[in-house]
Amino acid sequence: MPSTPLPRRRSLAAGATLAALLLAACGSDPKPAAPAIPEVSVLTMRAANVPLSIELPGRTAPFLLAEVRARVDGIVQERRFVEGADVRKGQPLYLIDPAPYRTALASAEAQLQRAQATLRSNAALLNRNRVLVRENAVSKQEFENAEAAQLEAAAEVAAAKAAVESARINLGYTNVIAPITGRSSVSAVTQGAYVQGGSATLMTTIQQIDPMYVDLQQSSAEGLALRREIAAGRIRMDGADGQAVQVKLQLEDGTTYTRSGTLEYSGVTVDQATGSVTLRARFPNPEHLLLPGMFVRASVSQGVRQDVMRVPVPAVTRTPQGSATVMLVGADNKTIVRPVKTGQLVDGYWLISEGLKDGERVVVSGVQKLKPGIAVKVRPEAAQNPAAPAAPATAADARNGANAGAQQG
C-alpha cells in the first residue's frame, strides 16, 4: 500500500484537531442569563371633578346690523360719510333732493290754515244759532245744520294737521341718518342716483362689531347626550348658579382669541337639513379683530364631570373587538389586564366611567411590550410624574371615543 505524503498527513492531523475543538465547543452548555425585569411608569388613580368642554364650528356675526334704505323718492344730492368709517347714531349719511317735499309741506300747511279758518267761521255761526234757536229766531233744522258744519270743519282741521305732519316726516326722510352706531360699508348709491321709497332702495349698511356675536352649530345628538348626563347627576352644568357659561375662541389662522366670551342663547329647534342646533356666544371686540363672517372654532364649557378617573391616552389599548383595556400593576407587582369603559377625551386623557378604583396603579408607558401576569419594577417617581399626555384630540376623536365607550357599556 503506498504511503501518504508528509504534507498531506499534516493537513489531515490539523483538520482532526479543529474538528475535535468544534465538537468540544458544541458540547458545552453555558447557563443562560436571567431575563431582565421590565421597568414601568404608573399613575395612581384618584377620582376628581373634571371640567368638560366641546369644540364647535361657527361664524362671527355683527351685534347689530342696519340696512340704510330710502324712505322717499328723489335724487341723491350728497353722500356725507366716508365709506368704511365708523359712524354715530343720528349722523347724516345722505341728502335726497328736499325741494319737492318742502313744497308739499308748505301746501299742507296752507290747507291746514284754510281748514282752521273754516272751523272758526262755523263755530261762530253755531254760537249765534244756539242763542237764536232759544228765541225761535231760527229753526231747529238750521241750528242742527250749523252744528254739523262745525263738526265737519273740525274734522277737516284734524285731517289737515295729519297731512302737515306727514309732509314734515317725508321732508325729514330726505336727510338720511345713521340708525345705529357702527362701521359703515360701501355705499350702494352715488351722487345723482335716483332712489325710491316704495321699493326701499338699499343705500348702505352699518354693522356694530363691538361686541360681536359668534353663531355655533352643535349636533343634536351631542346635546341629547349632555342633557342625559346632567339628568343623571354625573355632570354639574355651568351657569346653573347664575354665572355665564364661558366660551373660548380659536381664529382662522389657528391662534387663540385673547378675550373670553359668554354663551347667550341655545336654540330649541333642530335644523332638519343639518341635524344641528344653533348656539350664540357674545365676545368683546374693542380692537375690531373679529370681523363679520369669519370662520372660527369655539370651545364651550359644558359643566363639570363629577368623581371620574382620568387615564392618559397611551395607557388605553383596544382589543380587536374595539373594547378598551388598561394594564394594572397589582400589589404583588405583577401585571393585570382590566377592561374599562371610556367616556370623553379631555386634554389628552380618557375619562373612565367604569372599571377602575381609587388607589389602583395603571401602567402609562410601554404597555404594548407587557403581558399579563409578569413581574415588573415600578419607577418610584412615576406616581408623581405620570407620562405626558398625548396632544389634545379633535372634537371628532372625542365623539368617536365617547361612542366607543357607549357601545362597550
**pLDDT, tens digit (0-9, with 9 covering 90-100), for 137-164:** 778 888 888 889 889 999 999 999 999 9
CATH number of 98-173: 1.10.287.470
* CB distance 53 to 301 below 8 Å: yes
Confidence of residue 344 (pLDDT cuts 50, 70, 90): confident
* CB distance 342 to 362 below 8 Å: no
Identify which of 58, 51, 49, 50 has the alpha carbon closest to the alpha carbon of residue 263. Answer: 58
All three cell numbers of 85 = 368709517
pTM greater than the 0.75 cutoff:
no
Confidence of residue 238 (pLDDT cuts 50, 70, 90): low
The domain limits of the chain are 48-61+210-408, 71-96+174-200, 98-173
Could you name the CATH architecture of 71-96+174-200? Answer: Beta Barrel (2.40)
Is the per-residue pLDDT at 362 higher than 70?
yes
pLDDT above 90 coverage of the chain, percent: 38
What is residue 397's predicted lDDT score, i.e. its pLDDT? Answer: 44
CA 239, CA 241: separation in Å to the nearest integer?
5
Lowest mean pLDDT among 18-22, 190-194, 334-338, 394-398: 394-398
Q: 96 or 145: which carries more pLDDT confidence?
A: 96
What is residue 296's predicted lDDT score, i.e. its pLDDT? Answer: 94
**Cβ count within 10 A of residue 285:** 21
User: What mean pLDDT do residues 312-332 have?
Assistant: 88
What is residue 151's predicted lDDT score, i.e. its pLDDT? Answer: 92
Are 48-61+210-408 and 71-96+174-200 the same fold in CATH? no
Three state DSSP letters for the chain: CCCCCHHHHHHHHHHHHHHHHHHHHHHCCCCCCCCCCCEECEEECCCEEEEEEEEEEEEEEEEEEEEEECCCCEEEEEECCCCCCEECCCCEEEEECCHHHHHHHHHHHHHHHHHHHHHHHHHHHHHHHHHHHHCCCCCHHHHHHHHHHHHHHHHHHHHHHHHHHHHHHHHHHCEEECCCCEEECCCCCCCCCEECCCCCCEEEEEEEEEEEEEEEEEEHHHHHHHHHHHHCCCEECCCCCCCCCEEEEECCCCCECCCCEEEEEECCCCCCCCCEEEEEEEECCCCCCCCCCCEEEEEEEEEEEEEEEEEEHHHCEECCCCCEEEEEECCCCEEEEEEEEEEEEECCEEEEEECCCCCCEEECCCHHHCCCCCECEECHHHHCCCCCCCCCCCHHHHHHHHHHHHHHC
Q: Is 307 left (phi over 0), alpha (psi -120 to 50) or beta?
A: left
CATH number of 48-61+210-408: 2.40.30.170
Mean pLDDT, the chain, as a whole number? 81
User: What mean pLDDT do residues 221-246 have?
Assistant: 67
Query: Is 66 buried (19+), middle (13-18) or exposed (0-12) by CB count in 10 A?
Result: middle
Confidence of residue 8 (pLDDT cuts 50, 70, 90): low
Q: 360 or 22: which carries more pLDDT confidence?
A: 360
β-pairing verdict for 295-312 and 377-378:
unpaired
pLDDT tens-digit series, residues 248-295: 999 999 899 999 998 887 777 888 888 888 888 999 999 999 999 999
Give the HSE-up count for residue 407: Cα atoms under 13 Å, Cβ half-sphere.
10
CA 361, CA 353: separation in Å to the nearest integer?
16
CA 304, CA 240: separation in Å to the nearest integer?
11
